[in-house]
Amino acid sequence: MLSLRQQTAIGACLLGCSLTLPSYGQDVSTLSDFLPCTIGNGAGLLDAQCSTLTVPLDYQNPDGPTIDLRVAKLTSRSKNPQPDAFTLLAGGPGQSATESFPSVSNAFRHIRAERDIVLLDQRGTGESNKLTCPNDDDNLQPLMFDAARAEEAAKRCFESLENDPQFFTTSVAIKDLELLRETLAIPQWNLYGVSYGTRVGLHYLRRYPSSVRTIVLDAVVPPEVALGPESALSAQRALLRLFDRCENDAGCNEAFPRLRSGTLALLDSLKQQPVDIQFEDISTGKLKEITFTDRHLAVTMRLMSYSAYGNAILPSMLYDAIDNDNFASLARQAQLQVTGLNETLAGGMYNAVICTEDEPFINHELDRSELEATYLGAELLDAMRSHCKAWDAGIIDDDFKTPVVSDTPALLLSGSDDPITPPAYAEQVMQHMSNAKHIVNKDQAHMQAALGCLPKLMAEFIKTTSVNDLPDGCLHRLSPQAFFVDANGPLP
């Protein structure tokens, strides 16, 4: 049976108004002194200054229970930093800003040259009362969806949480960010949101327009979109684009001449007859036995397609199974992807968001035939429905699912081959933003900030607040990671 987090893996890894909510100020929050700390995880560590922001669990009851949120600050390298700090809004939903930032910090090095970087672990993530679900399943058991067991797993998670998850949605979290800005006396933020973080950034911009100096939206999620129905279609388009690129690349096509037909046949074969295999467990070094199914392959392809590097090595791994019946590399990658997701994503916070902001807005009577023709199928919709039957919807603002209308300087970033947030999503948001620029990187996947000259472009945009004169011609030299034709890497 597909565990709660594994089902997340198959799907995963928002009328603007000028209304500003009342200033909450210091009377409902406290901020501890900043002390030296280390932030990050196994993918990278950074020295920083950390503090704890204490906020109301329920802003409608400011005298009621409180929760502690982790704050980290990386001071600018300038002796006279600009007063408008920079902050990153992490993806997921369920990822921690302080844990994920170090692995991508190089993308923001030019911004830090002139500005402090302040990170807030969104409530329900990292060290901000992380909503963790019990995980008593084998990470690589046969990933077969069972609606009843999925509902039971979600119910068990819901009942295990110390705090009521209705207060862990985007509509509540943006109040924490505004309270932090007020408490630190930051005149305005320069916001960067990635994936789900773009949903947070857009809703914050809706509620607190005067608090935002600039906003960068990377892998954009429009407010009107309920993630779920289109996810399998986007993943399928990304897979077909990968096939196209390999066939148009002399080295890849020569090494893997049947990649398209072989992969599709492999999915069908595994669906009909899973394969019992042994492989070395990457965490223990011991042999592990699993029954490898089409769901293992789907999860692996899905999550690897999020990065250019994953796309570069995927053809060789697929072909090893297609031509040689060797599934070890795919099995190890499946384990790596699922384990990494379990470690970095707060499953309870993920459910708190999707069961409030996505699943209630999905038409489950829609024609499923197009979804079922994809390699992911309609299973994500079924999983979301089962989870949310056992999960009470949380707090959501009345205008949450409407477009954000804004003239705030905005830079939108997309990859042409993004498997979850295609460029069309950013174009949808652009229709309501009068001072925005959309950059689409050809043959790239999810998250653009670290690619090519974009670190400098983002810093220039934040410095000037202008989208009209960005020297983005440098991006024409950007090319995708070369395909690995074997274990030694790409051709010379």
CA 488 to chain centre: 30
State both tokens at 69: 């949120």
Given a cut of 50, is residue 169 above it in pLDDT?
yes
26-30, 101-105, 127-131: lowest mean pLDDT where? 26-30
- Say what the pLDDT of residue 229 is: 83
Q: Which amino acid is at 160?
A: S
Closest by CA position to 48, among listed 105, 133, 126 = 105
Domain that holds residue 404: 1-492
Return d(Cα 466, Cα 312) in angstroms, integer.
Answer: 35
- Say what the pLDDT of residue 138 is: 53
52-61, 210-219, 359-368: lowest mean pLDDT where? 359-368
Mean pLDDT of 115-120: 98
State both tokens at 348: 């309870």
* Residue-level length of the chain: 492
pLDDT in tens, 384-423: 999 999 899 999 999 999 999 999 999 999 999 999 999 9
Using the structure block, give the residue that is written with the tokens 């684009």.
241
Given a cut of 60, is residue 15 above it in pLDDT?
no
Given a cut of 70, is residue 141 above it in pLDDT?
no
Q: Residue 258 maps to which CATH number?
A: 3.40.50.1820
Q: Mean pLDDT for the chain?
A: 90
Q: CB of 288 within 8 A of CB of 281?
A: yes
Give the torsion sign (CA, 143, 304, 201, 76).
Answer: positive
- Say what the pLDDT of residue 1 is: 31
Ramachandran region, residue 20 (left: φ > 0; alpha: ψ -120 to 50; beta: rest): beta
pLDDT in tens, 253-273: 999 999 999 999 999 999 999
Decide: helix, strand or coil at residue 469: coil
Using the structure block, give the residue that is written with the tokens 């043959």.
443
Domain total in the chain: 1
Given a cut of 60, is residue 20 above it in pLDDT?
no
Cis geometry, peptide bond prior to residue 83 (ω within 30 degrees of 0): no
Q: CB of 428 within 8 A of CB of 450?
A: no
Given a cut of 80, is residue 111 above it in pLDDT?
yes
CA separation, residue 412 to residues 127, 426, 466 (Å): 29, 7, 13
- Say what the pLDDT of residue 150 is: 86
Return d(Cα 54, Cα 67) in angstroms, integer.
Answer: 6
Closest by CA position to 414, among listed 329, 331, 475 = 475
- State which H helix or E strand residue 183 sits in: helix 170-183
pLDDT in tens, 285-303: 788 888 899 999 998 999 9
- pTM of this prediction? 0.92
Given a cut of 60, is residue 371 above it in pLDDT?
yes
Give the confidence band of 27 by pLDDT, cuts at 50, 70, 90.
low
- Say what the pLDDT of residue 28 is: 63
- State which H helix or E strand residue 214 sits in: strand 212-218
Q: What angle do CA 273, 279, 282 make, to 5 degrees?
A: 130
- Say what the pLDDT of residue 367 is: 83
